[in-house]
Amino acid sequence: MEALSPRDANAQRLPRVHELKTKAAAQVKSTKDKEHPPPPPNNVVEPPSSDRKDGVVYQVGKLLGKGGFAICYEGKAAGASKRVALKIVKSKMPTKMEQKFQTELQIHSKMRHQNIVQFHRAFTFENCTYLVLELCPNGSLMDMVKRRKGLTEAEVRFYTVQIAGAIKYMHAKGIIHRDLKMGNIFLDKYMNAKIGDFGLAALLLTGKDMQVMRRTTLCGTPNYIAPEILEKGKKGHDHMVDIWSLGIIVFAMLTSKPPFQSSTTDEIYRRARDRDYEWPSPETSSKYISQEAKDLVATMLQDADKRPDPDTIVAHPFFTSGYMPLASDINYKLREVAPENPAFYEPLNSQAQSLNLRNVQEMCRECGVGQWSESQLVFRNIWREMAEEEQNGLTPVIPLAEGVVYRPFDEVKNEQKLQARLAAQKMEKQSSQGLDKTYESRNAKESESRSSTESTQSQKVTSGLLRAPPQSFAAQQRAQHRPTTTGLSRSKTVTEPATRTVSLRPRPGRETTPAPSQPSSEEATPVSRMSTRSLRSQLAATRSKAISASEENAPAPRRSASMREKRQEERLSLFSPSEYQEEVPGTQPDVVLERLQKLQAELERALNARTMALVSSRDKTPSPPHIVVKWVDYTNKFGLGYVLNDGSVGCILRSIPSPEGPNPGMLPPACLLVHDAERHCMRKDDPNYSARHQIVPMKEGIYFYENNGESGITRVRVAPENFLVPMNSDGTVGKLSAGRDIYDHRKRERIVLWKKFANYMIAYGREMDNNSLTQSQRSATSAGETGEAEPAIRVPTITDFTAAPSDVVTFYQRFGDVGCWMFADGHMQFNFPDHTKIVLDSAGVWCHFWHLPKDAARRLEETGSLAESALDDRAVLSYPLQTLLNFAKPTSGGSSATTGSAGSGTNSRRRPVIPEELREIPAANQFRKKIEFVRDVVREWNANGGLGNSDLSRERRLRWTGVRETKGVPIPAKHVWVTIGARGGDERLAAMVDPRRPGVIGEDVDERRRER
């Protein structure tokens, strides 16, 4: 007020003391109200409840973000592998905030849609209220758009359909979100959009005249607020404000900023009222935005009564005018960089249009929106569910009292129904027993007495089992003097089915076995809480059961009885239940299978293409990823050790028996990687190196990975000090201790095994491309400098804990004398016996080909011999796979300016011009034949239902019949077929093969005799 009133206007009147105190107190109170809660402790305790009798302890992880009044951390229940998000607010809040928070809990807990963040439960701990929510580890849509400076139109189609499906669902349930913005749209581990933060959501009630009762509260974020919200006190607003916000989101996804963004809030509001916005012009931006996209946004930024509903939105021509991505096209890499798949940019031809239309239709069906949605579901309005919740005394009281756990009402109701059903069954059983006794008795009085007793007992049983258990929410509410009822009210309205949370995008081309028509109550209860992807895993498990049942009547050539018996043994673990285990994204077998199916399609497409790929002038050739440069195969006992091109040393270990502990069994396949380990091992004789006596370098943590079958791979970080080798008082090196417990002991056993692999590879490595150390490193090592020289190649460190690491091998397979490595991020390496290697990215779009010189490759094919100098002259070609397959063909018109898709001049797409001296290299090295072999490998995996599931029968065993050395090599040579980390279990077979006739498998080798 001082800025608006002259100081001397009230100069004669001094402010009273109580006025100053009141004003100061109000300011302090306002500041405190907006303070975030303190960071949570390492362990957060959820009190006991009816479904968790002993409560839960959450191990708190990293900070995910902060909001207006809340903070959010990652968490995991002790002993579980599933991670959740813990949204934390102060329990003490103003009365108005309490009402809003109560509404948020009631609304969010009743949302059941695949594109809405799942609410699990809420409770109070140490003066803070914790909301346990579905974890979306890839951040928000706003983060992605900011990093990328806008998305492609294909990605905008993908996310707009998902958001529109969620909006349709919310509106059908009678809910307006009122704060839709990119910051409130989160990305799950599969990069699907999920709407969250229902703090401003409101009920859209209906009056007796069936007209919508409009809201009049001013709320929302300025850049996303619809004009009718600004007209407070007039007509009010309804669900169409969410459609306006969707229009703003689509504009922002395309351009990276909202259309009405200005320096002041008033200017934003003015521009919104006047629809004053402009699209980037070709002169100021290199990004091309189609007219269809502009028209779509314009339809949503209209007056409320003219805006389309979600079904109409997804029917707009924008969604069929360009590529609609598949599930496998959208991965975590898109948070940082634009898609590499050319389909995102190229215009659709007539054949692609029909296929793309099916993609759009399938996407709409999965999200429950549009004219292609198979069933028009009618959902029960949330206000009815809230009323029923109130009748049962389950409405949350804010602040939640200590010891109270608020859970979704449908879960509690299902629990009570199950209890009632069990009570009825028990009463029926007792009644039938009593009836038998009545017929046996000949005394009418005894019969009457018994009947009376049974009646009394049955009443007690019924009321006892229908009454909420001691730790139920209703009992706890009664402790707070809240009115409650003893049973569930009957309703003729059908509640929303739990199976609404269906698989987000089913794998193409694979049939799923339908679930049984009458599942047991034990199976039906948890489905309502299952995430969309975990439900997919359950369907896959059902399918696996059906497949295994059918296999009983069919021959199984690749799995012996002993292998099946081993898989039935108890599976143990390297990890203690108290250790924080991280799920490695994208390693679940079903997800890997989806990726492989997409990879097969891309390999087929590239092999069938007859021209080089179009490449944008702005595209950068990706650097070669991590590759294996040395390895030692000891899969007949333990596994495989390897050295990467950055000097990291790892091993992938097969399932190994563990006799230790109270329950001996099989430890699942495991992986281990130590960064900078090659240099560490080579400095073991350097007196100036402080860690020369240690097994591992003491620089950074070591990750252990464990294959958990259908659940995917988890990892645990262990500090290097855990493997510290002590020095004795006489200066000699001590021994590594056994460890604190059985889990620590198992890790130490694997570290010792890793050390043996590392020492062997450093001394007798199978292969090494060039030198792993640069000249500066060798100089530092040989000169014995004090300290440590920095490697020229930066040792990779894990900076993004939501992304799969690119430097750890999680799967290995050998096809005779061809080796295959798959890394956790999906990129693959194939090593062929002519000393060439092919490395493909996870999508199969980019390829790095390590090849022999053209003349050396042709000489090898003609004579079967390879000069030693040819190995030193190997080089790498890095191009799109389609380009490498058509390397010898000139570009269209013989010019490098052949234009690809439409766009501005600065973003033209063209085919590369290949230097004349390089054109014949792929053909000389049999590149196409090698890609066909890779295609056959992937095709067989897909046909058999999983990674590594190859047919190992002698007749069908895959083998490379191309070029290899035949002079100066053993004849015959032992060839091995083996897997580590295969979905169907691992097996190893060996046979003698004449390299001059590689297509003929000779005598089998019985390796078991050697093991004995």
Residues 315 and 169 reside in one and the same domain = yes
Pair (244, 339) in one structural domain: yes
Mean pLDDT, residues 147-169 taken together: 95
Do 157 and 90 fall within a single domain? Answer: no
**Has residue 517 been placed in a domain?**
no
The token pair that represents 709 in the structure block: 């079958």
| 547 lies in some domain | no
pLDDT score recorded for residue 913: 85
Same domain, 941 and 823: yes
On whether both 78 and 163 belong to a single domain, the answer is no
Decide if pLDDT at 78 tops 60. Answer: yes
Is pLDDT of 549 > 80? no
Structure tokens at 6: 């002259």
Mean pLDDT of 565-591: 77
How far, CA to CA in Å, does 929 sit from each of 333, 865, 934?
30, 20, 9
Query: Integer distance in angstroms from the first to the last C-alpha of the chain?
Result: 92
Answer yes or no: is 4 within a domain.
no
To the nearest whole percent, how much of the chain has pLDDT over 70?
73
CB 670 within 8 A of CB 754: no
Name residue 805's amino acid.
P
- DSSP characters for 872-939? HT-EEEEEEHHHHHTTTSPPGGG-TT---SS--GGG-EEPPPPPGGGTTHHHHTTHHHHHHHHHHHHH
In this prediction, residue 513 carries a pLDDT of: 36
Q: Please give the residue that has the higher pLDDT: either 1010 or 30.
A: 1010
The pLDDT value recorded for residue 334 is 94
Contact 324, 356 (CB under 8 A): yes
Give the confidence band of 547 by pLDDT, cuts at 50, 70, 90.
very low
**pLDDT at position 8:** 32
- Indicate whether 231 and 86 sit together in one domain: no
Once rounded to an integer, what is the mean pLDDT over residues 78-84? 89
- With respect to residue 699, please indicate whether it lies within any of the assigned structural domains: yes
Mean local confidence (pLDDT), 33-46: 86
Q: Does residue 540 sit within a domain?
A: no
Most confident of the ranges 145-159, 444-458, 665-679: 145-159
Whether 629 and 788 have beta carbons less than 8 Å apart is answered as no
921 with 964, same domain: the answer is yes
Residue in the structure block whose two tokens are 């001590």: 734
Ligand-binding site membership of 87 (annotated) = yes
Q: How many domains does the chain have?
A: 5
Note whether residue 53 is domain-resident: yes
pLDDT tens digits, one per residue of 319-352:
999 999 998 899 999 999 999 999 999 888 888 8
Same domain, 998 and 857: yes
The band of 942, judged by pLDDT with boundaries at 50, 70 and 90, is very high
Range(s) of the domain holding residue 470:
382-479
Q: What is the predicted pLDDT for the residue at 857?
A: 93
Residue 985 has pLDDT above 80, yes or no: yes
Question: What's the pTM value of the predicted model, to 2 decimals?
Answer: 0.48
Please pick, among 8, 54, 179, 305, the residue that the annotation labels catalytic.
Answer: 179
Whether residues 324 and 462 share a domain: the answer is no
Domain assignment present for residue 376? The answer is: no
**For the chain, what is the mean pLDDT?**
77
Question: Is 179 annotated as catalytic?
Answer: yes
The strands making up 828-831's β-sheet, listed across from edge to edge, are 875-880, 846-851, 837-840, 828-831, 818-823, 809-816, 973-980, 988-993
Poorest-pLDDT segment among 79-83, 150-154, 846-850: 79-83
Domain termination residue (choose one: 763, 795, 827): 795
- Residue 92, domain CATH: 3.30.200.20
Q: Are residues 338 and 296 in the same domain?
A: yes
Which stretch of 123-137, 377-391, 781-795 has the lowest confidence by average pLDDT? 781-795
Strand 809-816, strand 713-718: pairing? unpaired
Which range has the worst mean pLDDT, 193-197, 551-555, 590-594?
A: 551-555
Q: Which of 80, 112, 134 is the last residue of a domain?
A: 134
Q: Residue 201 falls within a domain, yes or no?
A: yes
Lowest-confidence pick of 189-193, 517-521, 912-916: 517-521
Are both 329 and 440 inside the same structural domain? Answer: no
- At position 13, the amino acid (one-letter code) is R
Instruction: Tell me: do 106 and 190 sit in the same domain.
Output: no
Decide which of 314, 342, 367 is a domain's last residue. Answer: 367
